[in-house]
């Protein structure tokens, strides 16, 4: 019951912030972390855009080498080779059904396009994938930093006409405090 309540609360909070997400018009530049004092948000490291793209490209290559079934099993494995710190691969079909999500395995097999704000985020992401850009900027709860709401750059690639995969990197707090 507690896990279900936590999941519902997490999805509700996530949904509220995803409604304001918008896709970028082109490939973004390297992210420079904001300068902050020690009393505010503490981020140890930031992952570069190039690392994100390479991670997703490596997953796409894995699909091409081992096939869809084996790749989805690997992407869904929380101890698999496609979990690296905050990076993980998720996969969706173009109808909105979750094919892989190691952090939220309970969502595998569920169509999420009608899940309010999560559905909006997925629609924007898959549109970015289909138009060849692949990048979309959102606000998302970072589970690796005490559930802090952060800006997140997501990147995805189309595998074939039926499905796509992606990942994302956190780029800093949504509302950084002004430098003093």
Q: Is residue 168 part of a domain?
A: yes
pLDDT of residue 35: 38
**pLDDT tens string 147-180:** 788 888 999 999 999 999 999 988 888 875 555 4
Specify the DSSP class assigned to residue 115. S
* Least confident piece of the model among 23-32, 48-57, 96-105, 116-125: 23-32
pLDDT of residue 53: 95
- The angle that helices 68-76 and 49-66 make with each other, rounded to 10 degrees, is 130
**pLDDT tens string 45-63:** 667 889 999 999 999 999 9
Nearest CA-CA partner of 78 in 108, 105, 51: 105
Name the strand (E) or helix (H) holding 173.
strand 163-173
- Residues ≥6 apart with Cβ < 8 Å to 66: 74
**Rounded CA separation 134/148 (Å):** 25
Q: Is residue 102 part of a domain?
A: yes
User: What predicted TM-score, i.e. pTM, was given to this entire model?
Assistant: 0.70
Q: Is residue 158 part of a domain?
A: yes
Range of the domain at 8: 2-23+44-173
Give the burial class of 176: count Cβ atoms within 10 A of its Cβ; 0-12 exposed, 13-18 middle, 19 or more buried. middle
Greatest Cα pair distance in the chain? 53
Q: How many Å is the Cα radius of gyration of the chain?
A: 16
Q: Is residue 88 part of a domain?
A: yes
- Residues ≥6 apart with Cβ < 8 Å to 123: 96, 113
User: What integer best gives the mean pLDDT of the chain?
Assistant: 78
Give the burial class of 148: count Cβ atoms within 10 A of its Cβ; 0-12 exposed, 13-18 middle, 19 or more buried. middle
Q: Is residue 159 part of a domain?
A: yes
What's the CATH code of the domain at 164?
3.30.450.20
Total structural domains in the chain? 1
Q: Is residue 28 part of a domain?
A: no
Handedness of CA 115, 171, 137, 84 (dihedral sign): negative
Residue 92: strand, helix, or coil: strand
**Rounded CA separation 8/75 (Å):** 23
Alpha carbon 33 to chain centroid distance? 18
Specify the DSSP class assigned to residue 45. -
Q: Is residue 105 part of a domain?
A: yes
Q: Is residue 107 part of a domain?
A: yes
């Amino acid at each position: 019951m507690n896990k279900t309540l936590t999941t519902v609360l997490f999805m509700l909070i996530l949904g509220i912030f995803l409604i304001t997400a918008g896709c970028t018009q082109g490939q973004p530049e390297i992210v420079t972390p904001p300068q902050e004092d020690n009393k505010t948000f503490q981020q140890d490291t930031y992952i570069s855009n190039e690392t994100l793209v390479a991670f997703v490209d490596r997953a796409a290559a894995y699909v091409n080498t081992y096939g869809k079934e084996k790749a989805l099993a690997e992407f869904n494995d929380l101890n698999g080779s496609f979990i690296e710190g905050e990076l993980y691969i998720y996969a969706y079909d173009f109808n909105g059904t979750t094919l892989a999500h190691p952090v939220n395995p309970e969502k595998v097999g569920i169509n999420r396009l009608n899940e309010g704000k999560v559905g909006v985020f997925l629609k924007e992401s898959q549109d970015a994938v289909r138009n060849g850009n692949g990048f979309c900027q959102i606000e998302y709860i970072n589970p690796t930093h005490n559930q802090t709401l952060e800006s997140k750059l997501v990147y995805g690639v189309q595998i074939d006409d039926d499905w796509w995969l992606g990942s994302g990197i956190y780029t800093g707090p949504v509302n950084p405090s002004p430098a003093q």
